[in-house]
Amino acid sequence: MHDTWHARTRTSEWSNDIDTRESLDFDQFDDLPEIGEMELAERQALRRVAGLSTELEDVTEVEYRQLRLERVVLVGVWTSGTATDAENSLLELKLLAETAGSQVLEGLIQRRQKPDTATYIGSGKAQELADIVAATGADTVICDGELSPGQLRQLEEVVKVKVIDRTMLILDIFAQHAKSREGKAQVELAQLNYLLPRLRGWGGNLSRQVGGRAAGGVGIGGRGPGETKIELDRRRIRERMAKLRRQIGGMTTARETMRARRQQREIPAVAIAGYTNAGKSSLLNRLTGAGVLVEDALFATLDPTVRKAHTPDGRLFTLADTVGFVRHLPHQLVEAFRSTLEEVADADLILHVVDGSHPDPAAQIAAVREVLSEIEGARDIPEIVVVNKSDAADPVVLAQLAAQEKRTVVVSARTGAGVDELMAVIERELPRFDQEVRMLVPYQRGDLVSRAHQEGEVIDVEHTEEGTILHARVRRSLFAELERTAKPVETV
């Protein structure tokens, strides 16, 4: 009891020394990490690292064990284009494999008119691939294309290791990086859609059975072999896919509600679209200070982020960051992420971000526009090509892109170069407000003046004895409210 009393006395003495009237110094919080930085640290902490094997002399050291990276060999089929195009495609596959957490040992490219229907690369090249896998000790082969179930099975029989294709690799990356509940559901739906035709049973006949209904006590009329195991798996996958579609439909309602609220307030919307790792999240952070995760990796961020921003003259608009695109983006992903991609379709302006330091930025632009063409209504939206990473790009390439595209702005999200010019272009391209008003607003309705600042474009404000003379451009909804409350200046 005595110690407790002393502790209370000391606490009261300390509290008396604190001046509670002093304002907080918010600068002390500037050094705290942002949400994106914390997510990046968490992701890197869970990365597999090359190094130690899993054979331990002392089992008590298991918590210190490091997982060995998957060792992969890449293989691609060159059917069209130049050799440089084929090499760039395989280089992108290498970056995808490293993002998924693997170590690339070797890469092969075969020139063919079309992929082989049996083993994707032909029997001779498949045997050569098997020799390379055996010599390097690889445990996975990644093909630069979408393989049919038969091609996957037959190529695995030749190389004797796991074979995956480009689609499965991208789906795996999405599964690793999905954070939100909606993002995880969308990725799972895409994976199940891809897995359904590729299920395998035990052996070639797939005849493993689960027993007839007689085992459940059905009795007469219920006897028989029952479903095979693979049929049961397919039925369960279809049921799970139907449940996921219902869940995603319910989650979409919340986004549609927020979008309808913004449209009701008639706030212009700008969507950031572009190739993966082109710097979309970095640009969003530069324009709005959103603090979202930024990483030099493909598909680093998947969940859409919407933030408010202001033009140089004070006009409010929303800026939405969307999922990145890639060449041959799986159709399962486009279908599953359709609700997310609707942010692009409902925008008034699209910022098409391009990596200016990439070896082939023109191919990136074509790939993004191919995906945008699959989104209903996205073709008719005005587009500004934003060439990012100007600090690391070749000036000749930047000049070529500026000559090829009609509306181009060159920026660097890292250094901030060109951002002011981009904001000026956004201000010019955003839809103009419909009505120009000059009215006397009573002081009791200062909320209308505030709305004009937030939702419209205020040209001039003058305070008089009777009220505020507001000269602004506003939308029709606010104009109708002003007509009911305010008076035209000419009649005052």
For residue 48, give every residue at least 6 positions away whose Cβ sits within 8 Å of its Cβ, in sequence order, or none.
66, 67, 68, 69, 70, 101
Q: Which two tokens stand for residue 429?
A: 């391209």
The CATH number of the domain covering residues in 266-429 = 3.40.50.300
Helix (H) or strand (E) holding 176: helix 166-177
How many other C-beta atoms can be found within 10 angstroms of the C-beta atom of residue 345? 17
Q: Please list the residues that pair with 383 across neighbouring strands.
A: 350
Q: Which residue has the higher pLDDT, 347 or 20?
A: 347
For residue 280, give every residue at least 6 positions away whose Cβ sits within 8 Å of its Cβ, in sequence order, or none.
272, 273, 274, 301, 321, 322, 324, 353
This prediction has a pTM of 0.69
Under CATH, to which class is 435-491 assigned? alpha beta
**DSSP one-letter string for 111-170:** E-SS-BTTTBS-HHHHHHHHHHHHHHT--EEEESSPPPHHHHHHHHHHH-SEEEEHHHHH
Whole-number Å distance between alpha carbons of 16 and 192: 63
Backbone angles phi and psi of 167, in degrees to 5: -65, -45
Whole-number Å distance between alpha carbons of 486 and 150: 73
Question: Does position 152 have pLDDT exceeding 60, yes or no?
Answer: yes
The structural domains of the chain, with segments of one domain joined by +, span 71-171, 266-429, 435-491
Q: Which of 82, 77, 183 is nearest to 126 (CA)?
A: 77
- SS3 assignment, position 75: strand
The residue type found at 28 is: Q
Sheet containing 468-474: give its strands across. Answer: 457-463, 468-474, 435-441, 487-488
In this chain, the answer to whether the domains covering 71-171 and 435-491 adopt an identical fold is no
Q: pLDDT tens, 411-444? A: 998 888 999 999 999 988 887 656 788 889 999 8
What does R_g of the chain's alpha carbons equal in angstroms? Answer: 30
Q: pLDDT tens, 22-42? A: 444 445 445 555 666 666 666
Q: pLDDT tens, 312-355? A: 877 788 888 877 888 877 777 777 676 667 778 778 899 999 99
**Lowest-pLDDT choice from 11-20, 85-94, 253-262, 469-478:** 11-20
CATH architecture of the domain formed by 71-171: 3-Layer(aba) Sandwich (3.40)
Are 281 and 300 in contact, with CB atoms under 8 Å apart?
yes
